[in-house]
């Protein structure tokens, strides 16, 4: 273990993918349901992972029609983005033998409230960003190289920076 990452497991997975012993594509399926009045929040979903499950609830703030009893959905999106980016950054650093002594990350999705509330036309999200605070003995150039690779390899960063096909349907 280095940087709280199991590098042997990563290498083993890479080899299994190369040999066709591990799925090349993996859907990350999540299901949820809209909550009725009297329940805590507006939406609930349960995430399954190898060691268990976690139920998450969202609620809009009062100006957006909720009661503010739980984080709003965009906060979860930003949390997912920064945690995915941090994981990608640390994974790349670990593979390069770089020790990370401390990593803090902030991020935001800047929403155009006029567009969301149909006051005027425009993009709903105007900017997405992350900022990293890193303590490491590695030179700044090496950390910058890792940051650039994380920009290219992070699934969340890729999703927000590329036109990924979106589909919806009623069953």
CATH of the domain at 80: 3.30.300.20
Contacts of 41 (CB under 8 A, 6+ apart): 35, 57, 58, 59, 66, 69, 70
Q: Quick one: 166 exposed, middle or buried, by C-beta within 10 A (0-12, 13-18, 19+)?
A: exposed
In a domain, 59, yes or no: no
In a domain, 95, yes or no: yes
Tokens 């012993």, located at residue? 21
Give the helix ranges, DSSP H, for the chain: 7-18, 73-95, 113-116, 140-153, 155-161
For the chain, how many structural domains are there in total? 1
Query: Which pTM does this prediction carry?
Result: 0.92
The residue range of the domain holding 150 is: 7-18+72-161
Per residue of the chain (171 residues), give pLDDT as tens: 899 999 999 999 999 999 999 998 999 999 999 999 877 899 999 999 999 999 999 999 999 999 999 999 999 999 999 999 999 999 999 999 999 999 999 999 999 999 999 999 999 999 999 999 999 999 999 999 999 999 999 999 999 999 899 999 999
In a domain, 41, yes or no: no
């Amino acid at each position: 273990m280095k940087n709280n990452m199991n590098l042997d497991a990563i290498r083993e997975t890479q080899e299994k993918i190369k040999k066709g012993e591990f799925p090349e594509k993996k859907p990350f399926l999540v299901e949820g349901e809209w909550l009725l009045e009297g329940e805590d929040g507006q939406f609930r979903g349960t995430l399954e992972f190898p060691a268990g499950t976690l139920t998450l609830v969202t609620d809009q703030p009062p100006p957006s029609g909720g009661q503010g009893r739980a984080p709003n959905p965009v906060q979860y999106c930003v949390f997912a983005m920064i945690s995915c980016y941090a994981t990608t950054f640390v994974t790349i650093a670990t593979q390069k033998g770089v020790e990370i002594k401390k990593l803090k990350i902030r991020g935001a999705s800047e929403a155009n409230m006029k567009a969301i509330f149909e006051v005027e036309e425009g993009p709903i999200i105007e900017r997405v960003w992350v900022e990293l605070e890193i303590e490491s003995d590695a030179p700044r150039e090496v950390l910058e190289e890792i940051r650039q690779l994380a920009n290219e390899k992070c699934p969340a960063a890729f999703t927000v920076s590329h036109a990924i096909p979106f589909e919806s349907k009623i069953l």
